[in-house]
């Protein structure tokens, strides 16, 4: 979910503006369901990165399927399509983070073959933002 200052207009500009920061695959209801044609039921948002250990990587930032469409293979299909795009770009890994409370998603990713790097290697997901980021940049706000 988006934090209050992070408006949809920013999300749109960052993905579909002149300098896209991410890519997005969407799932829509099939055309035969005429009353709901073009109705969005899921998405996978991702971007590319690099690791000195492995090389090209894709980072899956968000995966979502609306609750009434879950359990029908849509999430797996979205992941599969991201994997295809990633492999075509020479990526060797897909990275993503999952909140500890999201036990259903954790189990779901595991059955797709994902490894928990916190459990397996003690890796912590770090973040440096807000005031700390500005301080680091020597920015006196
Ligand atoms: C996680 C999520 C994307 C899964 O999407 P989905 O469309 O419901 O999943 P699928 O129907 O594609 O599941 C495919 C497979 O996973 C299995 N599966 C589903 N839920 C599972 C679970 N909790 N644990 C283990 N396996 C599960 C299905 O049986 C199916 O297996 P099969 O291919 O062998 O038949 C969806 O539940 C969701 O949007 N959740 C809320 C948002 C979220 O938590 N996103 C992840 C944030 S990191």
- Nearest one of 83, 14, 91 to 48, comparing CA atoms: 91
Q: For 32-43, write each residue's pLDDT tens digit.
A: 775 666 799 999
The DSSP bridge partners found for residue 47 are 59
The residue nearest atom 1 of ligand 1, judged by CA position, is 105
Question: Which ligand 1 atom sits closest to the C-alpha of 74?
Answer: 7
Q: Which tokens is 3 given?
A: 């934090």
Domains and their CATH numbers in the chain: 8-136 (3.40.630.30)
Q: For 45-81, write each residue's pLDDT tens digit.
A: 999 999 999 999 999 999 999 999 999 999 999 999 9
Active site residue 109: yes
Q: For 105-138, write each residue's pLDDT tens digit.
A: 999 999 999 999 999 999 999 999 999 999 999 9
Q: Would you say the CB of residue 106 lies under 6 angstroms from ligand 1?
A: no
- Catalytic residue from among 50, 59, 64, 109: 109
Assess contact for 91 and 68: CB atoms under 8 A: no
Q: Would you say the CB of residue 43 lies under 6 angstroms from ligand 1?
A: no
Question: Which ligand 1 atom sits closest to the C-alpha of 42?
Answer: 39
- Nearest one of 48, 70, 66 to 57, comparing CA atoms: 48
**What dihedral angle (degrees, nearest 10) is formed by the CA atoms of 109, 25, 83, 63?**
-10
Q: CA–CA separation, 116 vs 134, rounded Å?
A: 32
């Amino acid at each position: 979910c988006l934090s209050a200052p992070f408006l949809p207009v920013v999300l749109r500009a960052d993905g579909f503006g002149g300098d896209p920061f991410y890519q997005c695959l969407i799932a829509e209801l099939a055309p035969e369901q005429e009353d709901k044609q073009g109705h969005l039921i899921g998405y996978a948002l991702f971007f590319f990165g690099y690791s000195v250990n492995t090389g090209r990587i894709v980072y899956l930032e968000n995966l979502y399927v609306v609750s009434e469409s879950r359990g029908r293979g849509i999430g797996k299909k979205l992941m599969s399509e991201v994997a295809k795009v990633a492999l075509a770009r020479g990526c060797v890994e897909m990275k993503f983070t999952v909140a500890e409370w999201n036990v259903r998603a954790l189990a779901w990713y595991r059955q797709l073959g994902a490894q928990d790097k916190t459990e397996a290697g003690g890796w912590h997901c770090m973040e440096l933002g807000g005031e700390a980021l500005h301080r680091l940049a020597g920015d006196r706000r």
